[in-house]
């Protein structure tokens, strides 16, 4: 059956009757599946990049000192109170929203990325897409803003 539930050749809806029966006595059971060695998986994933690719990759975003320099500063109505983490598209801070008296997370796009139109567009598109989602395991986006050359 295709992902869409339709036969790819004729466009007709597929039914269960179209598939051959499976003898489940010949299928693997959970006891027969070998254990997974997570160290091997980690090394496989880590080893996916060639040495040449690794040598050309540079970390993106501010240094730890530069990222920590925002702590204690105001950004609009937010007082930045801590550093939560950073990745390829920005730095995430804990902050306090003084208007409604709640703690929030704020993602800042580093200035060196904000000056690149393609990266800025990507940052804004990511925020808009995440803002349309409503799920307990996806952070809610309440605002996209800019102060000077800082986007958050």
In a domain, 5, yes or no: no
Task: Find the Cα–Cα–Cα–Cα dihedral 133, 135, 138, 139, rounded to 10°.
Answer: 80
- β-pairing, 78-87 vs 102-108, is unpaired
pLDDT at 18: 66
In a domain, 11, yes or no: no
> CA 152, CA 137: separation in Å to the nearest integer?
21
In a domain, 139, yes or no: yes
Considering the domain architecture, whether residues 51 and 94 belong to the same structural domain is answered as no
> CA 145, CA 133: separation in Å to the nearest integer?
19
Considering the domain architecture, whether residues 41 and 71 belong to the same structural domain is answered as no
> CA 105, CA 87: separation in Å to the nearest integer?
14
Do residues 140 and 148 make contact, with C-beta atoms less than 8 angstroms apart? no
Each residue's pLDDT expressed in tens, for the chain with a length of 152 residues: 445 455 555 656 666 666 666 665 655 555 555 555 555 544 444 444 444 343 333 444 456 667 888 999 999 999 999 999 988 888 999 999 999 999 999 999 988 889 999 999 999 999 999 888 888 888 889 899 999 888 99
Structure tokens at 65: 């000192």
Considering the domain architecture, whether residues 115 and 146 belong to the same structural domain is answered as yes
> CA 114, CA 121: separation in Å to the nearest integer?
9
User: Domain range spanning residue 68?
Assistant: 64-151
Three-state secondary-structure class, residue 101: coil
Helix (H) or strand (E) holding 12: none
Number of domains in the chain: 2
CA distances from 121 to 60, 126, 128, 144 (A): 17, 8, 10, 12
């Amino acid at each position: 059956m295709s992902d869409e539930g339709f036969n790819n050749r004729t466009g007709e809806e597929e039914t269960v009757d179209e598939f051959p029966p499976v003898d489940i006595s010949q299928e693997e059971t959970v006891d027969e599946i070998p254990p997974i060695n997570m160290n091997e998986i980690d090394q496989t994933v880590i080893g996916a990049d060639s040495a040449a690719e690794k040598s050309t990759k540079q970390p993106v975003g501010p240094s730890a000192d530069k990222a920590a320099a925002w702590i204690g500063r105001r950004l609009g109505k937010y007082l930045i109170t801590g550093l939560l983490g950073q990745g390829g598209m920005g730095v995430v801070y804990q902050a306090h929203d003084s208007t409604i008296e709640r703690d929030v997370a704020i993602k800042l796009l580093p200035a060196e990325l904000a000056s690149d139109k393609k990266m800025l567009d990507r940052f804004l598109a990511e925020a808009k897409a995440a803002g349309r989602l409503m799920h307990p395991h996806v952070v809610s986006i309440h605002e996209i803003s800019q102060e000077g050359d800082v986007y958050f």
